[in-house]
Amino acid sequence: MIVKAVKPLPLLFVSFILFINTFSQSFPDYLERSLTTNKDTLFKGYLSDVSPGEGSINPKLYFVGPGDKIFISIRGIVEQNFNLQINQEGGLYIPKVGLISLLNQSLETAKSSIKEKILDIYKNVEIQISLLDIRKIKVTFIGIVTKPASYVLISNSKLLDLILQSYGLQSNSDLRNIKIIDKDGETKYYDLVSFLRLGNKECNPYLREGDLVIITSIDKTVSIVGAVKNPGTFEFVNNETAAHLLELAGGFLDKARTDTLELTRFLDDYKTIKSFYYSYEDLLNNNIILQRGDRLIIREKPEYLIEQFVTVSGFVKYQGIYKITKDKTTLKELITKDVGGFLDNCSLKDAYVIRTVGSNEKDPELDRLKSIPRADMTDDEYDYLKQKSRTIKGKMVVDFERLFNMNDLSENLILKRGDEIFVPEEKKYVSLVGQVINPGNIIFRPALTIEDYIQLAGGFGWRALKGDIRVIKANTGEWVDEDDVENLEPGDIIWVPEDPPNPRFWEVFQRTLAVFGQVATVIAATVAVIIAVRK
* Residue 425 CB neighbour total at 10 angstroms: 13
Burial of 250 (0-12, 13-18, 19+ CB in 10 A): middle
Residue-level pLDDT at 518: 64
Contact call for residues 457 and 436 (beta carbons, < 8 A) = yes
* Average confidence (pLDDT) over 492-517: 66
% of residues, the chain, pLDDT over 70: 82
Residue 501 has pLDDT above 70, yes or no: no
User: What is the per-residue pLDDT across 369-415, written as a single tens digit (0 to 9) for each?
Assistant: 777 887 877 877 777 777 666 666 788 888 898 999 999 999 999 99
40 pLDDT band (50/70/90 cuts)?
Answer: low
Contact 72, 115 (CB under 8 A): no
Of 13-22, 112-121, 225-234, 421-430, which gets the smallest average pLDDT?
Answer: 13-22
CA atoms within 13 A on the CB side of 3: 6
What is the SS3 string spanning 333-389? Answer: HHHHHHHCCECCCECCCCCEEECCCCCCCCCHHHHHHHCCCHHHCCHHHHHHHHHHH
Sign of CA dihedral 507, 512, 513, 515: positive
Instruction: For 201-225, give the DSSP string.
Output: GGGSPBP-TT-EEEEPBP--EEEEE
Residues near 446 by Cβ (< 8 Å), separated by ≥ 6?
A: 487
Higher pLDDT, 297 or 44: 297
* Rounded (10°) CA dihedral 93, 98, 102, 106: -90
In single-letter form, the type of residue at position 262 comes to: E
Please, what is the average pLDDT of the chain? 82
pLDDT-derived band of residue 164, with 50, 70 and 90 as boundaries?
confident
The pLDDT of residue 225 is: 93
pTM: 0.61
More confident residue, 38 or 460: 460
Q: How far apart are CA 513 and CA 526, in angstroms?
A: 20
CB-count exposure of residue 102 (10 Å: 0-12, 13-18, 19+) = buried
DSSP 96-165: TTEEEE-TT-BHHHHHHHHHHHHHTT--S-EEEEEEEE--EEEEEEEESBSS-EEEEEETT-BHHHHHHH
Give the range with max mean pLDDT: 163-167, 239-243, 426-430. 239-243
- Of 97-106, 350-359, 360-369, the poorest mean pLDDT is in 360-369
Dihedral (CA of 244, 245, 247, 253) sign: negative
Helix (H, G, I), strand (E, B) or coil at 431: strand
Among the ranges given (210-214, 435-439, 529-533), the one the predictor scored with the smallest mean pLDDT: 529-533
Distance of CA 161 to the CA centre of its chain: 27
Distance between CA 127 and CA 71 in Å, rounded? 11
Residue 451 has pLDDT above 90, yes or no: no
Mean pLDDT over 197-225 rounds to 92
Residue 212 and residue 245 in contact, taking contact as beta carbons nearer than 8 Å: no
Q: Is the pLDDT of residue 498 over 50?
A: yes
Q: Give the strands of the sheet with 69-75, arranged side by side.
A: 79-85, 69-75, 126-133
Query: What letter would DSSP give residue 436?
Result: B
DSSP state letter for 18: H
Eight-class DSSP state of 497: P
DSSP per-residue codes, 27-94: S---TTHHHHH-HHHHHHSGGGGS-TT-S---TTTPBP-TT-EEEEEEESSSEEEEEEE--TTSEEEE
pLDDT, residue 281, reads 92
Distance CA 276, CA 297 (A): 10
422 pLDDT band (50/70/90 cuts)?
A: very high
Question: What does the pLDDT read at residue 36?
Answer: 62
The full length of the chain comes to 535
- Check residue 188 and give its pLDDT: 96
pLDDT band at 47 (very low <50, low <70, confident <90, very high): very low
Across 487-493, average pLDDT: 85
Q: Which of 24, 1, 21 lies closest to 273, judged by CA?
A: 21
pLDDT at 419: 92
- What mean pLDDT do residues 66-70 have? 88
Q: Are strands 429-434 and 493-496 parallel, antiparallel or unpaired?
A: parallel
Q: How large is the average pLDDT for residues 313-339?
A: 93
Give the pLDDT band of residue 52 (cuts 50, 70, 90).
very low
- Pick the range with the lowest mean pLDDT from 23-27, 223-227, 362-366, 429-433: 23-27
Give the list of residues 6+ apart from residue 282 with CB closer than 8 angstroms, or none: 1, 261, 288
Q: Binning pLDDT at 50, 70 and 90, where does residue 443 land? A: confident
The predicted model gives 169-186 an average pLDDT of 92
For the chain, what percent of residues have pLDDT higher than 90?
41
* CB neighbours of residue 156 within 10 Å: 23
Distance CA 374, CA 385 (A): 10
Q: Which pLDDT does position 457 carry in this prediction? A: 86
Buried b (16+ CB within 10 A) or exposed e, 159-171: bbbbbbbbebbee
413, 331 contact by CB (below 8 A): yes
* Phi, psi (rounded to 5 degrees) for 55: 115, 180
